[in-house]
Chain A
Amino acid sequence: MKKLLSGNEAIARGAYEAGVHFAVAYPGTPSTEILEDVATYDEIDAQWSSNEKVALEVGIGAALAGSRVLVAMKHVGVNVATDPLMTFSYIGVNGGLVLVAADDPGMHSSQNEQDSRQYARFAKIPMLEPADSQEAKDFVQSALEISEEFDTPVMLKTSTRISHAQSLVSVRERADIAIRPYEKDMSKHVMMPAYARPRHVAVEERLEFLREYAEQTTLNRIEWRQKKIGVICAGICYQQVREALPDASVLKLGMCYPLPTKLLAEFAANVDQLYVVEELDPFMEEQIKVMGIEVQGKGLFPLTGEISPNLIAKKILGQPLTQSLAADMDSEAPVPARPPVLCPGCPHRSVFYTLHKQKMVVSGDIGCYTLGALQPLDAMDTCICMGASISTGLGFEKGNPALKGKVAAVIGDSTFFHSGMTGLADVVYNQGTTLTMVLDNRITAMTGHQHHPGTGSTLKGNPTVALDIGAICRALGVKRVREVDPYDLAALDAVIREEAAAPEPSVIIARRACALLDKSIKEVYVIDTERCISCGLCMKLGCPAIVKDNKTMSIDVSLCVGCGVCVQVCRSNAIVKAGDQDA
């Protein structure tokens, strides 16, 4: 029987079947589950690395040493890994290497929606793009074969709708692939100018061979149906086109870089109207136009977000497939949104509450704690990319002397190991006074609780060294390193005040396990309505367990986890342990 697998599970299965020996990643939606799933196969050695650059570099080493390797990351992870990627292209492989980049058009869970296909062209390496889970699995094998045949890293691009959609997959047994012998090869592996020059020539030649390959490979195919409309597409867009235009002919590209010139010309010559449907950038469109082929693309379709079957039908056929029922709903009021919030008991909450109260300029970062930007906590000035908090915070202080002593950089524990340490070194070296707050909830929470160098456990669940954040900060030259329990508001308030005022770099580690992982049972709290004066101070915490109805406040005991932070905010002593309430 076929298995129902998500695109990510299918990629993991593909790695297993293709005989992959080693897999490495840093988590990031929508790619995270690939490595989590790979880790369940005993035959594959798998690890989380501290960031994507490190992950790719470890992967490069493993491939040169002779293993078949899978490296996975989200689209913005490739930005971090670009430096090794660009030169890895010159070096090539020994055992094959596939680099999975998971895009997120529509930004379901990302800070931007960049188009990873540009990286394939930039690095001059091939890219495959699966259209469902079956292809996601099969293309891992194809990618590794191409990698070894053409001596190149190969990218595999997914998007949220591929990674997180489940479809049926026929599975196979694992291929028995031996680890290749390692041979030292300076002129190919040591990239200094004299050796790199001929390697660049080799890269350009390789690209020509790959163009030829693209013409013949079964990864690319023409599906002839009616010839009035012909559509060029790849990945999820193929499914959306088939849904919207069941009668149209389709050139489906499983390999979206490099493009097959002759196949495109043949397809174009045999249809009346030619379209290219692709999400985000006009990546294929521009290349096709350079070939001198007339095609319609971004003139009709947006450069932003996802492309749906309805949109395709509307733009190409003139009307959508379906009509929303919204017009028939007599809705008297807008439907309230259900935005994500910091969980009840989240140890991040009190930090943002305090930073807001102290009117700090907060240089933010990426993680659950980015939610500290939202009302009512409202305590973040910037959020750019992972690790930017500390360095951008230093920039605030350098760029405007009036901000000195008022800037706090806020960074999560996983993010600190990802790319926070170099920023901190910069603060010390350049004599900044920025306060850095490490929100150490002992896990990578945002992406679903992955281990990192500070947790003491590996991806495979084995115990390992837990790196000590405080010791690292001290070793980086920070003299003022303090720890605080974020559930203790008074202590938190005092320590932030002192360290922000300090005329030298300081670090506060606010340490408390993620509330979703803290299994200790604490007594929940309720509001004593006789003592409550409805001042609304507790509402400033933005805790979803504290509910306001008209003017009165109450605590939803099914949500409260008993962190006790609200008790410290209340000036009327109206928040009491549920057991102590006299009623």
Chain B
Amino acid sequence: MPKTTSILMGGVGGQGIVLASKILAHVIQAHDFDLKISEIHGMAQRGGSVLTYIRFGEVVHSPLIEPGQADYVMASEKLEAWRWLPYLHSGGTMVCSTQEIKPVPVIMGLQKYPHNIEKAMQTMVAKGTLGKLYAINALAVARECGQPKAANVALIGVLAHCLQFPLASFEEALEAIVPARFLAANKKAFLAGYQYFTDI
């Protein structure tokens, strides 16, 4: 059976995961794959974790991604990267931002924000359980491009480089989806992400 690719996107309510998944969906659709996207956005507006599953291939049945199944996790926030890491299969790829947004239990001083997430992920890369780790400060990258709200688009840039779709498809998707007045900055952020790692 032809393989289905599973991408899990995690972030914090208000970070704009929806735009990122729209861009990716546009590219996938343009290549004639079957596609399912599942969003859990119940109370996300109020600062909770948000989660999107994207699955594509010849025929996609389940819209769910389960622990140990994802080929890629794209996380817009570091703690969310750690939260969704178990969803990768052994050898899977993590694309994440090193930005930190403290959840309420941490803000209230009841729990600690884990301080060694990146190091722990690097250790897993060394052991081979985590295939690849691409961590960037997506917010800083997007700010430099003049649009802090494009942080997720910079991450999509990194992810795009990992996936086997041509660059031009992503540029078309950006043009189709991003409003004209934000397009230049978003393209810049996308390319900054795309070119960030030379070893992909």
Distance to closest chain B CB from A87 (angstroms): 33
Q: Is the CB of B40 within 8 A of A335?
A: no
Q: Is the CB of A309 within 8 A of B64?
A: yes
Is B19's beta carbon under 8 Å from chain A?
Answer: no
Q: Is the CB of A308 within 8 A of B120?
A: no
Residue in chain A with minimal CB distance to B106: A336
Q: Is the CB of A548 within 8 A of B120?
A: no
Distance to closest chain B CB from A211 (angstroms): 29
- Residues of A near B120 (CB, < 8 A) are 329-331
Which residue from A1, A167, A323, A375 sits with its C-beta under 8 Å from B35?
A167
Q: Is the CB of B62 within 8 A of A335?
A: no
Q: Is the CB of B90 within 8 A of A328?
A: yes
- Residues of A near B168 (CB, < 8 A) are none
Residue in chain B with minimal CB distance to A371: B46
Main secondary structure of the interface of A (DSSP, over half): loop
Is A222's beta carbon under 8 Å from chain B?
Answer: no
Q: Is the CB of B1 within 8 A of A547?
A: no
Q: Is the CB of B116 within 8 A of A340?
A: no
Is A516's beta carbon under 8 Å from chain B?
Answer: yes
Complex alpha-carbon distance, A329 and B40, angstroms: 25
Q: Is the CB of A4 within 8 A of B66?
A: no
Which residue from A242, A335, A548, A550 sits with its C-beta under 8 Å from B61?
A242
- Residues of B near A335 (CB, < 8 A) are 79, 82-83, 114
Is B39's beta carbon under 8 Å from chain A?
Answer: yes
Is A166's beta carbon under 8 Å from chain B?
Answer: yes
- Residues of B near A326 (CB, < 8 A) are 67, 86
- Residues of A near B195 (CB, < 8 A) are none
Is A272's beta carbon under 8 Å from chain B?
Answer: no
Is A281's beta carbon under 8 Å from chain B?
Answer: no
Q: Which of B41-86 contact A (CB under 8 A)?
A: 41-49, 60-64, 66-69, 79-80, 82-83, 85-86
Complex alpha-carbon distance, A280 and B34, angstroms: 29
Complex alpha-carbon distance, A332 and B119, angstroms: 12
Q: Is the CB of A547 within 8 A of B102?
A: yes
Main secondary structure of the interface of B (DSSP, over half): mixed
Residue in chain B with minimal CB distance to A551: B109
Which residue from A236, A331, A340, A549 sits with its C-beta under 8 Å from B46?
A340
Complex alpha-carbon distance, A548 and B29, angstroms: 45
Q: Is the CB of A165 within 8 A of B68?
A: no
Map CB proximity to B onto A14-35 as digits: 1 under 8 Å, 0 otherwise. Answer: 0000000000000001100000
Distance to closest chain A CB from B153 (angstroms): 19
Given contacts A325-B68, A448-B45, contact A239 B63 (CB under 8 A): yes
Is A544's beta carbon under 8 Å from chain B?
Answer: yes
- Residues of A near B64 (CB, < 8 A) are 161, 240, 308-309
Which residue from B1, B87, B103, B107 sits with its C-beta under 8 Å from A548?
B107
Is B124's beta carbon under 8 Å from chain A?
Answer: yes
Q: Is the CB of B68 within 8 A of A341?
A: no
Is A339's beta carbon under 8 Å from chain B?
Answer: yes
Is A321's beta carbon under 8 Å from chain B?
Answer: yes
Given contacts A325-B129, A326-B86, A332-B114, contact A166 B108 (CB under 8 A): no
- Residues of B near A542 (CB, < 8 A) are 104, 108
- Residues of A near B25 (CB, < 8 A) are 4, 166
Q: Is the CB of B45 within 8 A of A516?
A: yes
Residue in chain A with minimal CB distance to B44: A340
Is A500's beta carbon under 8 Å from chain B?
Answer: no
- Residues of B near A30 (CB, < 8 A) are 42
Q: Which of A300-337 contact B (CB under 8 A)?
A: 308-310, 321-326, 328-337
Distance to closest chain B CB from A180 (angstroms): 38
Is A243's beta carbon under 8 Å from chain B?
Answer: yes
Is B105's beta carbon under 8 Å from chain A?
Answer: yes
Q: Is the CB of B43 within 8 A of A325?
A: no
Is B113's beta carbon under 8 Å from chain A?
Answer: yes
We find that the number of chain A residues with CB closer than 8 angstroms to chain B is: 61
Complex alpha-carbon distance, A329 and B36, angstroms: 29
Is A570's beta carbon under 8 Å from chain B?
Answer: no
Complex alpha-carbon distance, A30 and B42, angstroms: 8
Complex alpha-carbon distance, A336 and B105, angstroms: 7
Q: Is the CB of A4 within 8 A of B68?
A: no
Complex alpha-carbon distance, A339 and B44, angstroms: 9
Residue in chain B with minimal CB distance to A374: B104
Which residue from B36, B66, B102 sits with its C-beta under 8 Å from A321?
B66
Is B9's beta carbon under 8 Å from chain A?
Answer: no
Q: Is the CB of A322 within 8 A of B36?
A: no
Given contacts A328-B124, A336-B111, contact A161 B63 (CB under 8 A): yes
Q: Which of A144-166 contact B (CB under 8 A)?
A: 160-161, 164-166
Distance to closest chain A CB from B2 (angstroms): 11
Complex alpha-carbon distance, A548 and B104, angstroms: 10
Complex alpha-carbon distance, A550 and B80, angstroms: 22
Complex alpha-carbon distance, A166 and B44, angstroms: 18
Is B37's beta carbon under 8 Å from chain A?
Answer: yes
Q: Is the CB of B42 within 8 A of A108?
A: yes
Distance to closest chain B CB from A338 (angstroms): 4
Q: Is the CB of B68 within 8 A of A322?
A: yes
Distance to closest chain B CB from A324 (angstroms): 3
Complex alpha-carbon distance, A333 and B112, angstroms: 8
- Residues of B near A328 (CB, < 8 A) are 90, 124, 127, 129
Q: Is the CB of A325 within 8 A of B62?
A: no
Map CB proximity to B onto A241-257 as digits: 1 under 8 Å, 0 otherwise. Answer: 01100100000000000
- Residues of B near A339 (CB, < 8 A) are 48, 103-105
Map CB proximity to A onto B113-150 as digits: 1 under 8 Å, 0 otherwise. Answer: 11010001001100101100000000000000000000
Complex alpha-carbon distance, A368 and B82, angstroms: 28
Distance to closest chain A CB from B49 (angstroms): 4
Given contacts A167-B63, A240-B62, A333-B112, contact A322 B107 (CB under 8 A): no
Given contacts A243-B62, A547-B102, contact A166 B37 (CB under 8 A): yes
Complex alpha-carbon distance, A549 and B113, angstroms: 11
Extra 6 A-B pairs, beta carbons < 8 Å, given A321-B66, A340-B13: A30-B42, A109-B43, A164-B38, A310-B67, A323-B68, A448-B45
> What are 15 A-B pairs at a CB distance below 8 A?
A164-B40, A166-B25, A166-B38, A167-B34, A168-B29, A240-B61, A322-B68, A324-B67, A325-B87, A329-B85, A336-B103, A338-B47, A338-B48, A340-B43, A343-B46
Give the 3 A-B residue pairs with the shortest CB-CB distance, closest first: A109-B42, A324-B67, A322-B68
